[in-house]
Each structure stands twice: as structure tokens, then as C-alpha cells.
Amino acid sequence: MKLSRRTLLASGVGAGLITAAALAPGVRVMLRPNTGAGPQGRDILVVVFMRFGADGLTMVAPADDSDYRDNRPTIGLTTTGERAGLHVGALGGVPFFLHPSGAELKPLYDAGKLAIVHAAGLPTNTRSHFESQDMMERGVTENDGPQKGGWLARHLMARGLDVPQLGVVASAADVQASLHGYSNAVAIPDVTQFNVTGGDFNLNVIEALNAGADPQAAAVRSTVGMVRAVRTKLAAITDGYSTSAEYPGGEFSTAMRSVANLVKMNAGLEIATVDFGGWDHHYKMNQYFPGHMTQLSKTLAAFWSDMRDFQDRLTVVAMTEFGRRLEENTAGGTDHGAASLMLVLGGAVKGGQMHGTWPGLRPADLREGDLRITTDVRQVLAEILAKRRGETALGQIFPTMAYAPVGVIADSSPRS
């Protein structure tokens, strides 16, 4: 392909955006001058969205509960035998067991770094994946009034922080809805592939074609410089940063390793969003769930190990749009439900314990056959923002919800 200024203008460079026509596949970067690295002390928040309904009753199960056993005779975890889970504590006097394929999470839990918030969800009336995901990322329910953008975008704008060019990153093909409305967010699915299409030759051409003094040309040159700086820092990490972290294969692992590399670059990363899809286990739960759980467990453990120099200012929260029904279906799976769980990992997390309120699994305790939501996911997110990100304007982030912290984060001075 012959590159010309007209080609670059057509692809969006002249308008202030390098699109997929110029950047490597999946990378989206707004062209604007870097405003500086920003404070390095604020907490790094990584939000993992387990898309398509991760089953909290399989991930962390009340395996000794008779109602649980009766409703899941072939797929439920047990306390002994082939499907035996790993005991992780109790909630409301009920013992809970981690899925055996999540064995790497057990040491993190036992060390007090990982907390489990059970019976958590967004109180909505829909069982649609896409409606629920959209509402959760915007931080609203169908009963709330319209809110602009996503909950993370509102947090960033409410704080008015001086965030650097790589301070807010979606480790995905596109910026997720939680960041919609924050124009500085960029999508980088794998930072090791961060470059323009055609490599350094085309990078030099882009720079040469934008040698003028106008603001757009200056913005292009700034982003060219940022691309080069990222690649230089990445090479330094690859060559000089030893790590014993063993990431498994898979897209989720690649995305989390990319986040780890961005953190180690000291480029000012503050917020990262990561997707992990495929949790819609309508059939053959025993066959397909363990692979997802293994990748989640091994990846989070590897990421935590990789972040050993940053753990004191790191918080990872994993959530899903809804859980699954209590009763297994005839295909050996579970259908769309209500409550699931959240995992919270970090240096300031009150880990090694279960959080929330357990509603029980008796028929009278359920919501239309589903595990009832007793913890609004937004309360956990708000607590993280307030206690670790210095957020003081929660009314702008979740305007229809009164703040009632769950207690999953230790009370300490936020890194503001």
C-alpha cells in the first residue's frame, strides 16, 4: 500500500485519530499531546468482566447444603470425591468450597489477598446478557434515570485527574462501555503488538508526513513518539525484568499479561479493563466450566506474582452480569439467573474471608428460582473507588445508590 498524506487523512490521522488502517489490528489510540505521566501513587484498578453469566454457585459453592445438592445432583460440587471443592470459609454459618479447578486462587485467599463477595449482582429484572452487561457497565438499572457514559468514565471525570496517555487502557479490541465518555481511554489488546501497520518504516513515514507546525501534525508526532516509547520500554522489560509468573494460554491470559507489561513500564497506568468471555454454560457444565475456571485461576495467580513490586497499590475486581439458576437443566448445565459473586484481589483487600449476606437456597429464599441478590455490585465498586482511588463524589458515579460499604477494603488513606 502506498502511503500518502491523503491516505492518512482518509484513515483519520488528519482528524486526530490513527485508526485500524494505520495501527496494528485491534489498537485504537487517540492522537493528542501527552500531558505528563501523572502521579505514580494512585491505586491501579483492574476491572475484569467475566462475560455471559459466570456461575457463582459452581465457582464457590455451598457444597454441603442439602438444597444445593438436591438441585444440582450431577453438576454440583461436593465435599468429598471427584467433584470435591476446596474449603474457603463460611458465610452466614454456611461453609463454602472453591471449585477444584481454581486451586491457584486458594493460596491468595489463605494469604489474605483475595476476598469473595457472594450473592452479588445488579438488581435488574432482565436475564438478557447484553442488557445486563450494558447496565452494569453504565452502573445503572432499568429503574434509574439516564446517566451519561460508563461508571469508570464518570469516576475519571469527577476526579478531574491528570491521567497520562496510557493511563486508562482497555485490554480488548474496543473500549468497553464502562469507559465510554472518557476520551483518553485507549484499546490495546496486546501491548507486544503495539505499533503501526507496516512497522517502523511506516512509523517514520507518518512522522515525516506530519512535520508541520499545525496542532494536528504536532499531535501525530506526539503519538508517534508514544508508540516508540512504548516499544522501547517493552524491550527493556523483556530484556531486564525477571519474572517467575507462568501465564497460561488463552485470550484472557494474554490480556492480563499485557496489563502487567503496561504497569511495569511505569507509564502511569491507573485503570485497565479486561474481558473474559464464554461463561454461558447452558450445557455440559462439568465438561466446559473447569477450563474457564483454570484459566481464571492460573491467570490471576500469575498476574499477582508478576505484580510483586506493585501489589500494595493494586486492586483487581472480577464480576459478571448475572449468575445462573440454582436448578441444573436437562442438558447438564444452568440457565440465566440472578446473583453470582465478585472476586476482589489486592494489597488493601480484607481477604481470606467471605463478604456479603447469604440469602439461603430454600425455595422461600430464592427469587423466581434464582439465588437472590443481597449485595449490589455497585457498593463494592464504590467502596474501591472511595477507599483506594480517593473518590469523594460517589453521587456523580452512582447517583441513585446510597453508599453502604461492604467492608471488602481495609479502611486506610486512599492514594489520591
Q: 76-85, pLDDT tens digit by residue?
A: 999 999 999 9
Instruction: Specify the range with the lowest mean pLDDT, choosing from 27-31, 140-144, 344-348.
Output: 27-31
Which comes out higher in pLDDT, residue 34 or 319? 319
CA distances from 302 to 272, 324, 343, 344 (A): 17, 28, 16, 15
Give the per-residue pLDDT at 25.
39
Q: 357-395, pLDDT tens digit by residue?
A: 999 999 999 999 999 999 999 999 999 999 999 999 999
pLDDT at 404 over 50: yes
pLDDT at 7 over 90: no
Instruction: Specify the range with the lowest mean pLDDT, choosing from 150-159, 169-178, 217-226.
Output: 217-226
Q: What is the pTM of this model?
A: 0.87
Mean pLDDT of the chain: 86
Q: Kindly indicate the confidence band of residue 143, based on its pLDDT and cuts at 50, 70 and 90.
A: confident
Rounded distance, CA 357 to CA 88, Å? 16
Q: 328-360, pLDDT tens digit by residue?
A: 999 999 999 999 999 999 999 999 999 999 999
Give the per-residue pLDDT at 243.
58
Give the per-residue pLDDT at 230.
74
CATH of 25-195+248-397, one of 3.40.720, 1.10.10, 1.10.3470, 3.10.450: 3.40.720
Q: Kindly indicate the confidence band of residue 114, based on its pLDDT and cuts at 50, 70 and 90.
A: very high
Instruction: Specify the range with the lowest mean pLDDT, choosing from 71-80, 186-195, 253-262, 318-327.
Output: 186-195
Q: Which three cell numbers stand for residue 248?
A: 497460561
CA distances from 99 to 102, 142, 283 (A): 5, 33, 18
